[in-house]
Structure 1
Amino acid sequence: MEYIQIGSSGLSSSRIGLGTWAIGGIGWGGTDENKSIKTIQRAIDTGINLFDTAPIYGFGVAEEIVGKAVKQTGKRDNLLIATKAGMEWTEEGLAWTNASKRRIITELEDSLRRLQMDYIDIYQLHYPDRDTPIEEVADTFAQLHKEGKIRAIGVSNFTTEQIDQWRRIAPLHSSQTLLNVLQKEWIPSFQYCRENNLGSLTWGTLAQGLLTGKFNETSTFAEDDLRSVYPPFTGEYFTQHLTAVEQLKTMARELGKNVAQLSVRWVLDQPGVSVALWGARSEHQLDDIAGVLDWSLSIEDIERVNQIVKNAVPEPLVDSTPPPPTKKELQELGYLA
């Protein structure tokens, strides 16, 4: 495994981290706790020491599974647990942003309970909350950091301008944003992290499985699978993405790799990228990780990847997923009292 320092935090992370969004089950066709626990433990055996989760992943389910898996290994002190805050939800699954001081402190205690831990290694604001000033949220996170309840502070889905606002108030050690060979609009954010000694995590590294190469034009998704409506898997974009993946498969074979290994290596070789999150909820989905490590793409290889995608997808899909609503917005629409 390759390792790297997360900005100025003093924390050393594996360059592949395990993302647990799918382990939460909601939007991914459910979950299997025993299988997920074995997957997490297998990840630890491969050298992965960073596990990224969030309360909103299955409304607490993912955190609970991570906590059980880690407790069974007895290796908590050797691992980095990254979770998030700043979301609230109803029992019916209606969710909105809430980064008020009271909510953040409540979420931290809830996360610690679900994870069966007494501190969080990297605590991240999941999304900017348009109802709460960034300065107020940053001050809350700084307080938690000073108290030792969190070892490092992170943000997720923040623009560089929002990061600048945060850093004027409180320490910041990492930023997490979308990046894969098909969706590159956040590359400037990683360059910013490099210039400002911030660690970075990539989510969507395998494009929700699209870059594993296991899908074709006849692939379908169940209604409770988010990919049934997610733009990269629908309409003309799905066809174009499949074309790009087939051509990337050819290039990968020439390098003695498969398309997932090529795609993740491309991410790791982008300036400013610290950790690529690899989503998995079964042990076999970790088999390809070894082939990502201990090599790098040449400048020519990187350009070839970029050109393949550019030719197949003339007008790249910009992540059009709207940010979560605020409570005020849901109240104005009549969804909340």
Structure 2
Amino acid sequence: METRDLNGNGLSSSRIGLGTWAIGGWMWGGTDEAESIRTIQGAPDKGVTLIDTAPVYGFGRSEEIVGKAIDEGNMRDQVVLATKCALEWDDNGGVRRNATKQRILKEVDDSLRRLRTDVIDVLQVHWPDPLVDPRETAEAMAEVKAAGKIRAIGVSNFSPEQMDAFSEVAPIDVAQNPYNLFERQIDEDVLPWAREHDTRLLAYGALCRGLLSGRMHADREFPGDDLRNNDPKFQQPRFDQYLAAVNALDQFAQEHYNKRVLDLAIRWLLDQYDHAFALWGARTPDQLDAVANVPGWHLDEDARREIGRIVDTHVTDPVGPEFMAPPARD
């Protein structure tokens, strides 16, 4: 497994991380705690040492499962633990942005308790709050770092302008944004900013909610509150366009590299930026088996250009990840 440092703060992890939104169950049709714990505890054996979670994933459930798995597996020193802050929720499951200092200070202590640890390796502001100046949010993050509760500071879903303002007060070690073969919006803004500032990129949705796994089919149905029921990519006629692109990418991967589309999607992401990390959502141990197919090969510029052409040819009505953005407070 390839590893990288997380911006000179003494942390180093695998370039593929375990994303645990689905493990929290919320918006993914439920969760199986025992299976989730086996997945987390088995991740380091497969070379995956970065675990990313958030309080809002299952309203504390994901952090609790992650904390239990790490504690009972006696594996805290084997992993880099990343979580988030600055979202709040009510009893009805409504989620809103809240990046006030008061909210961040409370969330850090709550996360430390749920994660069963005395320090969080990377704390990220989950979404920018339009009602709070990024500099105020940065002050809160700098305070919890100075208190020794976190080791590194990150932001998620921030624009370059918001990161500029935040950076006036506190350095940004990590920027986390949606990024995959079907959602390449950050190529125009966040990725150039990260390169210029030598900031690490944590890419979430690396397999685009499973679209790039190669296991989707046109009549696939999603249970319960699964967010893909509201994702425009999974609605017709767009769904057929994306599935056609997946088939073409799979053929390209097999013909040129003896790989599959899932392997190609992760390799493409890592080759876009030398300091990129891909978050791989998995709920069962076997869903991490394909991690072994990613290291040891690369895509050159011509291959990346052809991959982009394949996507653009088949997806004639693209749509981004905007549907996932939570609202601001009233």
The TM-score, its normalising length taken from structure 1, stands at: 0.95
Query: What is the CA distance between 1:326 and its match in structure 2?
Result: 2.1
Which string of whole-angstrom CA distances, capped at 9 and with x for unpartnered residues, describes residues 281-322 of structure 1?
001111110001121112121111111001001343233326
Query: What is the CA distance between 1:273 and its match in structure 2?
Result: 4.4
1:144 lines up with 2:144 in the alignment: yes
Candidates 290, 294, 298, aligned match of 1:288: 290
Q: Where do 1:40-51 residues align within 5 Å? A: 40-51=40-51
1:199 lines up with 2:200 in the alignment: yes
Query: What is the CA distance between 1:271 and its match in structure 2?
Result: 2.3
The TM-score, its normalising length taken from structure 2, stands at: 0.97
What are structure 1's unaligned runs of at least 5 residues?
329-337
Candidates 298, 307, 310, aligned match of 2:309: 307
Which string of whole-angstrom CA distances, capped at 9 and with x for unpartnered residues, describes residues 49-82 of structure 1?
1100000000000000100111122121231110
* Counterpart amino acid of residue 191 in structure 2: F
Which secondary structure does the structure 1 equivalent of 2:84 belong to?
strand
Match of residue 59 from structure 1: 59
Match of residue 260 from structure 2: 258
State the Cα RMSD in Å: 1.2
Percent identical among aligned pairs is 45
Structure 1 stretches of at least 4 aligned residues deviating more than 6 Å after TM superposition: none
Q: Distance in 2 between matches of 1:159 and 1:84?
A: 17
Q: Distance in 2 between matches of 1:223 and 1:71?
A: 31
Match of residue 269 from structure 2: 267
Q: Where do 1:1-337 residues align within 5 Å? A: 1-187=1-187, 188-254=189-255, 255-271=257-273, 273-321=275-323, 323-328=325-330
Q: Distance in 1 between matches of 2:224 and 2:47?
A: 35
Which secondary structure does the structure 1 equivalent of 2:326 belong to?
coil
Q: Distance in 2 between matches of 1:304 and 1:124?
A: 34
Query: What is the CA distance between 1:170 and its match in structure 2?
Result: 1.1
Which string of whole-angstrom CA distances, capped at 9 and with x for unpartnered residues, describes residues 163-210 of structure 1?
111001112101000111011011231221122111110001000001
Which secondary structure does the structure 2 equivalent of 1:293 belong to?
coil
Query: What is the CA distance between 1:251 and its match in structure 2?
Result: 0.9
Alpha carbons 1:267, 1:273 under 8 Å: kept: no
Query: What is the CA distance between 1:256 and its match in structure 2?
Result: 1.0
Q: Distance in 2 between matches of 1:77 and 1:42?
A: 14
* Counterpart amino acid of residue 63 in structure 1: E
Change beyond 3 A, Cα 1:197–1:282:
same
- More deviation in 226-235 or 186-195? 186-195
Alpha carbons 1:6, 1:200 under 8 Å: kept: no
Q: How many residues align?
A: 328
Alpha carbons 1:193, 1:272 under 8 Å: kept: no
Q: Distance in 1 between matches of 2:57 and 2:123?
A: 15
What are structure 2's unaligned runs of at least 5 residues?
none
* Counterpart amino acid of residue 256 in structure 1: N
* Counterpart amino acid of residue 279 in structure 1: G
Change beyond 3 A, Cα 1:58–1:322:
closer
Query: What is the CA distance between 1:272 and its match in structure 2?
Result: 5.3
* Counterpart amino acid of residue 212 in structure 1: S
